[in-house]
Amino acid sequence: MSTIIYPITNLKTGVSLTITRGEGVYVYDDQGNEYLEGMAGLWCTALGYNNGELIEAATRQMHELSYASMFFGKSHPTGQALGEKLAAMVPVKDAHIFFGNSGSDANDTQMKMLRYYFNAIGKPEKKKIIARESSYHGITLGAACLTGLEVNHTNFDLPVSELGIIRTDAPFYYRNHLPGESEDQFVDRIVNHLEEQILAEGPETIAAFIAEPVTGASGVIVAPDGYYEKVRALLNKYDIFFWADEVITGFGRTGNAFGCETMNIGAPDMMSVAKQLSSAYQPISAAIIRGDMYDAMVEPSNQIGVFGHGYTYSCHPVAAAVALKTLEIYERDHIFVKAAERGRYLQQKLQGFLGHPLVGEVRGRGLMAAVELQNHKTHAAFPMEVPGFLRQACQDEGLILRDVGTAIAFCPPLIITPQQIDEMADKFGKALDVTLQWVTQQGLC
């Protein structure tokens, strides 16, 4: 019995795969088996494994300054440089940045800063946050309340209503549209419902609307055309912030620097990033807010002596050094442009599975995609055992993917080559056929 409590794992079945090393887009287990890492770890290893430049950046920083606190007015040059670099990249107006360690704590930080800001400007009642069904925003207490997935709520007794979280529709046309409803009609219906919720709660009580430009853990849901434009118009009408959770979609994943660009969202008021900020070589995140929000928070912090929020490892110098080098590589090697090109190729390859008896839809943007499984006889989703079986069948073929709801997700490192995309599609196709045989034997289709 392991002494480790494993995250997002069936605690009864425990460990099924032990990874010992990685190289490029491949990882290797303790038996020497090779796997194409089709999920970039957890949507994060953008530059793949064993990148010498990132390792050297971390090593150099450890020799120079292995740790420094940013509490009580202290700073360090590496953190300052990262802050300036990131602020110049993001589409947030006059961006100000709070550094943390994970996407979850970035979103928790945003919740706290929203409250701090609205207290500062004399609107203490404006604290509620609208979050969508089938969303993932993290796993800490506050971030898990924003998350709209049942598995992350069950048995935890999360204070969702106490934190003022309002749940609204996911823009998941494939599963949630009404019979005969077009995409435009679907968008109008759920946006109208959002407005009804805003009016019922009182716009003066709602601080922000949080959304992943393209969802991750809930199934790589891509909103229909026009959805975000109508949502932004509605939020502007009622003076509600748009909070972009770019923890997965940030830094080239969707074919642009940020998912907000890909999905025509425009400049968000707030943005959370993590994962590909350091290509996952070091844990680091950023909660980014508009300059006017920061300005309003300055005097209240002066009145009490400090801004009373922070983590021991906020802007850890080693993590900051690795993030700086990661951003440099993205820019120098035109990684986002290459990711867009290879993303188009990936989407094209996956479209080829649309005729398969188990496949209902293929969707995605850039190097982020999902193949939706569908029982064409019943016109319903398969039970969750089926995508789970497919995930294991992929692993048996030497391909690591992830089942996300009723779909299987793809999110390879941004450095993947067209030949490796071919390899990934070939392995997936074989696993899909194995799954079809099993589904047929089980009488599930």
Residue 10 in any domain: the answer is no
**73 in a structural domain:** yes
Residue 48 lies in a domain: no
Would residue 230 count as lying in a domain? yes
Q: What is the pLDDT of residue 364?
A: 98
| Residue that terminates a domain, selected from 332, 359, 375 | 332
Assigned domain for 145 exists: yes
Does 143 share its domain with 288? yes
Record the pTM.
0.96
pLDDT given at position 1 = 57
Q: What is the pLDDT of residues 259-301, one digit of tens each?
A: 999 999 999 999 999 999 999 999 999 999 999 999 999 999 9
Do 305 and 353 sit in the same domain of this protein?
Answer: no
Q: Are 216 and 347 within one domain?
A: no
Domain containing 379 equals: 334-441
Q: Which residues of the chain have pLDDT under 50?
A: none
Domain assignment of residue 348, yes or no: yes
Residue 443 pLDDT: 87
Residue-by-residue DSSP string for 252-265: TTTSSSSHHHHTT-
| Same structural domain, 251 and 363 | no
Q: What is the DSSP string of 201-266?
A: H-GGGEEEEEE-SB-STTT--BPPTTHHHHHHHHHHHTT-EEEEE-TTTTTTTTSSSSHHHHTT--
**What is the spatial distance between Cα 289 and Cα 131, in angstroms, rounded to a whole number?**
18
Q: What is the pLDDT of residues 162-195, one digit of tens each?
A: 999 999 999 999 999 999 999 999 999 999 999 9
Question: What's residue 308's pLDDT?
Answer: 96
How many angstroms separate the CA atoms of 351 and 357, rounded?
14
Which residues does residue 207 pair with via DSSP β-bridges, in sequence order? none
Q: Give the distance from CA 393 to its chain's centroid.
A: 25
| Residues 121 and 78 reside in one and the same domain | yes
Report if residue 27 sits inside a domain: no
Residue 58 CB partners (closer than 8 Å, separation 6+) = 281, 282, 318, 321, 322
Residue environment code for 383-417, b if the CB has 16+ CB neighbours within 10 A, otherwise e: eeebbebbbbbbbebbbbbbbbbbbbbbbbbbbbe
In this structure, are 255 and 111 located in the same domain?
yes
Q: In terms of domains, do 302 and 351 share one?
A: no
For residues 288 and 386, membership in a common domain is answered with no
**Greatest pairwise CA separation for the chain in angstroms:** 70
Residue at 383 is within a domain: yes
What is the distance between the alpha carbons of residues 284 and 14, in angstroms, rounded to a whole number? 27
CATH of the domain at 192: 3.40.640.10
Rounded Cα distance between 44 and 234, Å, is 32
Number of domains in the chain: 2
